[in-house]
Amino acid sequence: MDRITPVILCGGSGTRLWPRSRKALPKPFLPLVGEASLFAATLARAADPALFAPPVVVAGSAHLGLIESQLAEGSGALTIVEPEGRNTAAAIALAASRLPEDAVMLVCPSDHHIADQAAFADAASRAAALARGGWLVAFGIAPARPETGYGYIRRGEALADGYRIERFVEKPDFATAEGWLAEGGYCWNGGIFAFRAGTFLEELGRHRPHMAQAVAEAVRAGREEGARFHPDAGAFARIVAESVDYAVMEQTDRAAMVEANMGWSDIGNWQSLRDARDGDADGNVIRGEAELLDCRKVMVETDGPRVSVVGLEDVIVVVDKGEVLVTSAKGAAQVGKLKGAASQ
């Protein structure tokens, strides 16, 4: 059986993790859970040579140094350098164009956390089996709560290794999310996909012919530079940015899913980061010098100054390079709106 090719996407700005995440050192390259960066953990998760071929990394030029310093010597990785960000459909299409058409791709965002490695590998194997059968496969994350910040997938009829997708649904309101949780059959759309390179390009050509053409031209006119590939900037600039969900997965009639219950988090903001870390008996999570008095479910992260917290619950304090952020857990989703986050 052919091995799976991990395709690691390094886009996104992560302003909701300001002031820790900044443009120069964004979220994938920070050791937010455990000792390794999320990017390094993503690579490690798909590094078993029995199951996985060398990865393809798609990234902007600003972070090439960070990326290549974390790729192991002789890893055989290919890095595709995007002239500018054009969202996930184009990024995946670039990777697909540089692979044999029978290669099974496993598309992974570089800034997610997955606690259960065995469950991930198991889901990847099932997804690959479906992909070999010509399906475009999404990972459906077993929903842990009535989350309103994610898109959902409605499960359809059963297949040998998963399910057809009945439909993709947009971020719901809270009552709707609660109803889906009670009803069952709904999963979070984790942004992880598997398909054969050829199948993907075929479906892209069917549903987004202009994008498929522009990508093909950007690849044809591109240049290799060692383990880097530079698509042609002029052709790439003509692409309209769209997510793979919108451009392909929601359009195709070959959409399938595997269910994955693997301790997944997109670490989308400080609250989800707190939840992904192990807390003490009071649920407090501390990195750096801190003293907590009469606190519960408080997270402190400081790069130096001592932080003392008294009498609070569900509050997050971050001190990083001279910026101090204090947010309620619930307010964490708004952090990207702060002037500091917007103007960094």
Contacting positions for a second copy (CB under 8 A): 19, 291, 293-294, 302, 304-312, 315, 317, 319, 322-328, 330-332, 334-335, 337-340
Q: Give the integer Cα–Cα distance in Å for 92 and 108.
A: 10
- In whole angstroms, how close is the CB of 97 to a second copy at the nearest point? 42
- In whole angstroms, how close is the CB of 296 to a second copy at the nearest point? 12
Rg (CA), the chain: 20
Q: Which is nearer to a second copy, 153 or 325 (CB)?
A: 325
Q: Which is nearer to a second copy, 137 or 341 (CB)?
A: 341
- In whole angstroms, how close is the CB of 189 to a second copy at the nearest point? 26
Q: Which is nearer to a second copy, 19 or 26 (CB)?
A: 19
Q: Which is nearer to a second copy, 158 or 293 (CB)?
A: 293
- In whole angstroms, how close is the CB of 330 to a second copy at the nearest point? 6
- In whole angstroms, how close is the CB of 295 to a second copy at the nearest point? 9
Q: Do residues 150 and 171 lie in contact, with contact meaning Cβ atoms separated by under 8 Å?
A: yes
- In whole angstroms, how close is the CB of 310 to a second copy at the nearest point? 4
Sequence-separated (6 or more) residues with CB below 8 Å from residue 243: 87, 88, 89
What spatial distance separates the first Cα and last Cα of the chain, rounded to whole Å?
47
- In whole angstroms, how close is the CB of 332 to a second copy at the nearest point? 7
Sequence-separated (6 or more) residues with CB below 8 Å from residue 268: 16, 149, 333
Copy the structure tokens of residue 11.
Answer: 């886009």
Q: Which is nearer to a second copy, 147 or 232 (CB)?
A: 147
Q: Which is nearer to a second copy, 138 or 317 (CB)?
A: 317
Q: Which is nearer to a second copy, 185 or 311 (CB)?
A: 311
**DSSP letters spanning 154-200:** EEEEE-SSSEEEEEEEPPPPHHHHHHHHHH--EEEEEEEEEEEHHHH
Q: Give the integer Cα–Cα distance in Å for 149 and 137.
A: 22
The secondary structure of residue 261, as a DSSP letter, is -
Q: Give the integer Cα–Cα distance in Å for 32 and 215.
A: 34
Q: Do residues 169 and 179 lie in contact, with contact meaning Cβ atoms separated by under 8 Å?
A: no
Task: Measure the CA angle with vertex 36, ends 32 and 37; round to 5°.
Answer: 55
